[in-house]
Amino acid sequence: MKNKKPLFIAIIALDLALTIFFLVISIIMLSQTVGKTPAEIAANADNGLIGYLQNHTTVYGVAFVIPLFVLLAANIVGLVIYVKKTSKSEPTQLDDLSEEQKEALRQELLKDLMGGSAPKEEPKEEPKEEKPAEAPEAEAKE
């Protein structure tokens, strides 16, 4: 388990090399096949690996296309696992906070301790309309 990092680097390098190899072969196949008739493709059967793969599409599919999709799926799964693993939130340590954040946290804690809980904002009451000066005198006369 101590040599885990070199193993991961080797696996990533192998994955990258295989992916590039499969993609290059696929691009060459595509560029050699597009716009040619089946007779022209059959005539190029003697041209090494690409000619052979053009005439034997099942071998091409099994040897290059399926492994490319398997590597793609493995890379996506690995990425999802890595993101989940690294995105787990760890509790923040006091040493990680700046002085301003520490002061804000102190103020919030003091406010919570003094009030029992965070004060809720209550809707402001509209000021009551005062009665005109004559109204109190009119009430006193009655």
Can you tell me whether residue 55 is helix, strand or coil?
A: helix
Per residue in 115-137, pLDDT tens?
865 445 555 555 555 555 555 55
24 within domain boundaries: yes
Per residue in 12-64, pLDDT tens?
999 999 999 999 999 998 888 888 888 887 777 777 888 888 888 899 999 99
> The pTM is what?
0.56
Burial bucket for residue 115 (CB in 10 Å: 0-12, 13-18, 19+): exposed
31 within domain boundaries: yes
137 within domain boundaries: no
For 71, the domain range is: 4-86
Domain count, the chain: 1
